[in-house]
C-alpha cells in the first residue's frame, strides 16, 4: 500500500478536493493501527463534516472500514439471510418481534445489535432483562443458531469493522457524529461485514430520531441503499415517523413485555404495523413467498421467539424485572392529546435509568415510562398520562421536568391529524 502523509489528506479534504481510494484506504488502515494520530483524524473528520464526500468517496470509505476486519460467511446457514437496521428511536423495540417473525417466514435473520447511548434504547439492553439471556456468541454459535432457529440477536464481534468502532468513539467526542457520509459508512460497513444477503433499513425521522428532517433522512437512506448495492447486498429503506414514541413502553424490561404481547397477537397498533411493514420488505428481499401478518397470527413467530431466547440461555417464561418505585403523571385538563414528544419521553426514561450517559455505565432493567395516552386519545382531568418506573426515586424530579412540556391537550372534539408511520420507501 502506498504511504501518504496524514496532513496532506487533511488538507485535500479541507480544500474540498475529492480523496482517492488509495488515500482513503491508507488513512483508515493507518488510523486503525495507531499510525495516524487522534488529533489528525479529528481534523479530517471535521473537514468531512463541513465539506461532505462524493458517492465514490463514501463507497471507498465504507470498503476500507469493511476491510479492516473479517467478513462473515453465512452461506452454510441453509436459508436466505436478511437483516434490519434501525437508526434508533424512542420505544423502538421492533427488532424483538421482527427477527423471530421473519425467521418464521423462512429466512435467517442475523440481528447484530448494540447498546443504547443517550435517549435511544439499545436492543441488547432490552434483551438482557430476560433472565439468563446472553448477548455474546462466537461466529460458530451464531451460524449454528441461524441454521437451527432462523434468528439471532447478539453483540457484534470485535473483528467486524474494527475501524468503525475506533472512529465512532472519536466522532462522539469531536462533534462530528452528524456527518451523513460517516453515518452511512458506519452502519453499512458493519451490516455488510456480518454477511447478510439482504438488508432493510428503518431510518427514523422526527424529534426522537437522530435525523430531525425528512430530507436529511432521505439523503442518508439513499446513500446507504447505494452502498449496499455496490457491495452486492440487496438493500431498501423505510423512512418512518419518530415524532411520537413507538408503542406504550419506553424502557428495557417493559419493552420486552410489549414485544411479547405483539408476538402473542396483541400489542399496540403502531408497533404491530411497523413490525409487519418491515417484515414484508425483508421477506420480499429474501425472495420468500409468505405473508408476515398471517405468520404472526398463526403463533409461529412466538415459537421462534421462544426458541431464540432459549438458544441464548434465556428463560422465556421467567418474570421480567419490576421497578422498586413508580410515579404517575395525570392530565390537568380534559380534551384530546394532540402531541406526545418522543425526545422528551426518551430523555425522561434515560434520566430514570433506562439508558446510559457513558458506554461503561449500567442501565436499570426495570426503569422506563409507560405512555398511558397517545395522540388522538381523549383524556379526562386526573387521567394518567405517564407511569414512571425506577429503582432510584431521586431520579423522579429530573424526569418529571423533562415531561412537563411533552404533551399537548387540545379542546374536546378536536380531530388530530396523524403522520403516516411509514413515510417513504426507498429501493435500489
Using alpha carbons, select from 31, 34, 305, 6 the residue that is nearest to residue 151. 305
Catalytic residue among 171, 300, 374, 389: 171
Out of 119, 190, 351, 372, which one is annotated catalytic? 190
Q: What is the SS3 assignment for 387?
A: strand
pTM for the predicted model, two decimal places: 0.94
Query: Does any domain span residue 420?
Result: no
* pLDDT value at residue 355: 85
In this structure, are 125 and 25 located in the same domain?
Answer: no
Residues 212-221 have a mean pLDDT of 95
Domain shared by 164 and 252, yes or no:
yes
- Whether 236 is catalytic is no
Give yes or no: residues 123 and 12 share one domain: no
User: Are 342 and 371 contained in the same domain?
Assistant: yes
* pLDDT score for 2: 63
pLDDT at 297: 97
Which phi and psi angles does 379 have, rounded to 5°? Answer: -125, 150
DSSP states along 122-164: PHHHHHTTSTT------HHHHHHHHHHTSEEEEEPPTTSSHHH
Q: Specify the number of domains making up the chain.
A: 3
Q: Is 1's pLDDT higher than 60?
A: no
Cell 452502498: give the residue.
Answer: 227
Q: What's the average model confidence in pLDDT over 133-152?
A: 95
- CATH number of domain containing 401: 3.90.1170.30
Residue in 144, 125, 149 with CA at minimum distance from that of residue 135: 125
> Active-site residue among 13, 60, 85, 234?
85
- Least confident window among 151-155, 160-164, 257-261, 327-331: 160-164
Q: Higher pLDDT residue, 184 or 418?
A: 184
pLDDT score, position 320: 98
267 plus 345 within the same structural domain: no
Residues 53, 58, 60, 64, CA torsion sign = positive
Are 13 and 111 part of one and the same domain? no
Q: Which grid cell sits at 392?
A: 432510584
pLDDT tens, 73-128?
999 999 999 999 999 999 999 999 999 999 999 999 999 988 766 677 789 999 99
Work out the average pLDDT over 229-236. Answer: 96
- Domain holding 306: CATH number? 3.40.1030.10
Over residues 330-336, mean pLDDT: 97
45 and 146 part of one domain: no
Q: How far is Cα 44 from Cα 109, in angstroms, rounded to an integer? A: 36
For 341-377, the pLDDT digits (tens) are 999 999 999 999 998 767 677 889 999 999 999 999 9
Same structural domain, 243 and 292 = yes
277 lies in some domain: yes
One domain, residues 30 and 141 = no
Q: Considering the domain boundaries, does residue 418 fall inside one?
A: no
- On whether residue 68 sits in a domain, the answer given is no
In a domain, 357, yes or no: yes
pLDDT of residue 199: 98
283 in Cβ contact with 292 (< 8 Å): yes
Q: Is 164 a catalytic residue?
A: yes
Range of the domain at 36: 6-52
For residues 4-10, give the mean pLDDT.
Answer: 95
- Catalytic member of 164, 241, 270, 341: 164
Instruction: Give the single-character DSSP code of 244.
Output: S
Candidate list 186, 243, 304, 344, residue with the active-site label: 186
Does residue 287 sit in the same domain as residue 396?
no
Nearest to 377 by CA among 416, 330, 419, 405: 416
Known active-site residue 190: yes
- Per-residue pLDDT at 290: 97
Per-residue pLDDT, averaged over 61-84, amounts to 95
Same domain assignment for residues 256 and 301: yes
Residue 322 pLDDT grade (very low, low, confident, very high; cuts 50, 70, 90): very high
Answer yes or no: 186 catalytic.
yes
Question: Is 268 inside a domain boundary?
Answer: yes
Among this protein's residues, is 33 annotated catalytic?
A: no
Output the pLDDT for position 117.
Answer: 62
What is the mean predicted confidence (pLDDT) over 387-405?
Answer: 97
**Please, what is the average pLDDT of the chain?**
95
- Asked whether residue 156 falls in the same domain as residue 276, the answer is yes
Strand partners of residue 387: 328, 370
* In contact, 69 and 97? CB cutoff 8 Å: no
125 in a structural domain: yes
Tens of pLDDT, residue by residue over 242-284, are: 999 999 999 999 999 999 999 999 999 999 999 999 999 999 9
What CATH number is given to the structural domain containing 25? 1.20.970.10
Does residue 58 lie in a domain region? no
Residue that terminates a domain, selected from 294, 318, 342: 318
Amino acid at each position: 500500500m502506498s504511504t501518504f502523509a496524514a496532513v496532506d489528506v487533511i488538507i485535500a479534504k479541507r480544500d474540498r478536493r475529492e480523496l482517492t481510494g488509495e488515500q482513503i484506504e491508507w488513512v483508515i488502515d493507518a488510523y486503525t493501527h495507531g499510525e495516524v494520530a487522534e488529533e489528525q483524524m479529528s481534523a479530517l473528520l471535521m473537514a468531512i463534516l463541513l465539506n461532505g464526500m462524493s458517492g465514490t468517496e463514501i463507497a471507498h470509505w465504507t470498503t476500507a472500514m469493511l476491510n479492516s476486519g473479517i467478513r462473515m460467511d453465512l452461506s452454510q446457514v441453509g436459508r436466505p439471510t436478511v437483516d434490519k437496521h434501525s437508526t434508533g428511536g424512542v420505544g423502538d423495540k421492533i427488532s424483538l418481534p421482527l427477527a423471530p417473525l421473519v425467521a418464521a417466514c423462512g429466512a435467517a435473520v442475523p440481528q447484530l445489535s448494540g447498546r443504547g447511548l443517550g435517549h435511544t434504547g439499545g436492543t441488547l439492553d432490552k434483551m438482557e432483562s430476560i433472565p439468563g439471556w446472553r448477548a455474546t456468541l462466537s461466529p460458530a454459535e451464531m451460524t449454528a443458531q441461524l441454521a437451527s432457529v432462523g434468528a439471532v440477536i447478539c453483540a457484534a464481534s470485535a473483528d467486524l469493522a474494527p475501524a468503525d468502532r475506533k472512529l465512532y468513539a472519536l466522532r462522539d467526542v469531536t462533534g462530528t457524529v452528524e456527518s451523513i457520509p460517516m453515518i452511512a459508512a458506519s452502519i453499512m460497513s458493519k451490516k455488510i461485514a456480518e454477511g447478510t444477503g439482504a438488508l432493510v433499513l428503518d431510518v427514523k425521522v422526527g424529534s426522537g430520531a437522530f435525523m430531525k428532517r425528512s430530507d436529511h433522512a432521505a439523503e442518508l437512506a439513499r446513500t446507504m441503499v447505494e452502498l449496499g448495492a455496490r457491495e452486492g447486498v440487496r438493500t431498501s429503506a423505510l423512512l418512518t415517523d419518530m415524532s411520537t414514541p413507538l408503542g406504550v413502553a419506553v424502557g428495557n424490561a417493559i419493552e420486552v413485555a410489549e414485544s411479547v404481547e405483539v408476538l402473542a397477537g396483541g400489542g399496540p397498533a403502531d408497533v404491530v404495523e411497523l413490525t409487519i411493514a418491515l417484515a414484508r420488505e425483508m421477506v420480499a428481499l429474501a425472495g420468500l413467498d409468505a405473508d408476515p401478518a398471517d405468520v404472526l397470527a398463526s403463533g409461529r413467530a412466538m415459537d421462534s421467539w421462544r426458541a431464540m431466547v432459549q438458544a441464548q440461555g434465556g428463560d422465556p417464561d421467567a418474570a421480567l424485572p419490576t421497578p422498586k418505585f413508580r410515579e404517575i403523571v395525570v392530565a390537568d385538563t380534559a380534551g384530546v392529546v394532540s402531541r406526545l414528544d418522543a425526545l422528551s419521553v426518551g430523555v425522561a426514561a434515560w434520566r430514570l435509568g433506562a439508558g446510559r450517559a457513558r458506554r461503561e455505565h449500567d442501565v436499570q432493567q426495570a426503569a422506563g415510562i409507560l405512555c398511558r395516552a397517545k395522540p388522538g386519545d381523549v383524556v379526562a382531568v386526573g387521567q394518567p398520562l405517564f407511569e414512571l418506573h425506577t429503582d432510584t426515586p431521586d431520579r423522579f424530579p429530573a424526569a418529571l421536568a423533562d415531561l412537563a412540556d411533552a404533551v399537548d391537550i387540545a379542546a374536546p372534539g378536536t380531530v388530530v391529524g396523524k403522520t403516516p408511520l411509514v413515510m417513504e420507501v426507498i429501493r435500489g
